[in-house]
Amino acid sequence: MASLSRSVVDEVSPSQEDGLVRGLSEVIGGPVGDHAATTRPIDRLMTPARIVMVLAVLVFGLHWLQKSPCQDGYWEHNEQYTHFCYTDVLALYYAEHLNDGVVPYFGHPNGNPVEYPVLTGALMGVLGLPVHDLGVNNPHLNQGQAFYNLNALVLSAFGLAAIAVVLALRRRRPWDAAMFALAPALVLTATVNWDLFPVALSAFFLYAWARKALVVAGVMLGLAVAAKFYPLFLAGPLVVLALRTGRVRATAITIGTAFGTWVAVNAPVYLGAKDSWLWFWQFNSERAVDWGSFWYIGAHFPVSSRTDGGIEPFIWLSGRVDWVNWLSYLLVALGCVGVLFLTLMAPKRPRLAQLCFLVVALFVLFSKVWSQQYVLWLIPLAVLARPRWGALLAWQAAEVCYFLAFYAHLLNLSGQYVMPEATFVIAATIRWFAVASLVVLVVRDILQPERDVVRRTYGGDDPDGGDFTGAIDGGLEIGLPDWLTSAYGQARARLGLGAAG
| CA-wise closest residue to 115 among 395, 371, 487, 486 | 371
Domain co-membership, 87 together with 20: no
Whether residue 501 is contained in a domain is answered as: no
CB 195 within 8 A of CB 92: no
Domain co-membership, 1 together with 142: no
Q: Which residues of 118-149 are buried (b: 16+ CB within 10 A; e: fewer)?
A: bbbbbbbbebbbebbeebeeeeeeebbbbbbb
Q: What is the domain range of residue 5?
A: 1-46
Domain co-membership, 100 together with 193: yes
Judged by DSSP in three states, 38 sits in coil
Other residues' Cβ atoms within 10 Å of the Cβ of residue 110: 9
Residue 193 has what pLDDT? 98
Residue 4 has what pLDDT? 32
Whether residue 238 is contained in a domain is answered as: yes
Which spans in 68-140 are helix H?
A: 79-82, 88-95, 118-137
Domain final residue, candidates 9, 29, 46: 46
| CA-wise closest residue to 47 among 15, 11, 18 | 11
Round to whole Å and give the CA distance between 130 and 149: 13
Domains: count for the chain: 2
Whether residue 500 is contained in a domain is answered as: no
Domain co-membership, 40 together with 120: no
Whether residue 88 is contained in a domain is answered as: yes
pLDDT (tens, 9 = 90+) of the chain, 501 residues, equals 333 333 333 677 676 565 565 555 445 544 555 545 555 555 567 899 999 999 999 999 999 999 999 999 999 999 999 999 999 999 999 999 999 999 999 877 666 688 999 999 999 999 999 999 999 989 899 999 999 999 999 999 999 999 999 999 999 999 999 999 999 999 999 999 999 999 999 999 999 999 999 999 999 999 999 999 999 999 999 999 999 999 999 999 999 999 999 999 999 999 999 999 999 999 999 999 999 999 999 999 998 666 678 899 999 998 899 999 999 999 999 999 999 999 999 999 999 999 999 999 999 999 999 999 999 999 999 999 999 999 999 999 999 999 999 999 999 999 999 999 999 999 999 999 999 999 999 999 999 999 999 999 999 899 999 999 988 875 554 444 566 566 666 666 665 655 544
pTM of the full predicted structure?
A: 0.90
Domain co-membership, 468 together with 336: yes
Domain final residue, candidates 26, 46, 66: 46
Residue 494 has what pLDDT? 65
Whether residue 434 is contained in a domain is answered as: yes
Domain co-membership, 239 together with 372: yes
Domain co-membership, 42 together with 54: no
Domain co-membership, 23 together with 167: no
Domain co-membership, 216 together with 258: yes
Domain co-membership, 293 together with 338: yes
Whether residue 128 is contained in a domain is answered as: yes
Residue 46 has what pLDDT? 83
Whether residue 488 is contained in a domain is answered as: yes
Domain co-membership, 283 together with 381: yes
Say which DSSP state 40 is in. Answer: S
Domain co-membership, 77 together with 39: no
Whether residue 357 is contained in a domain is answered as: yes
Residue 497 has what pLDDT? 56
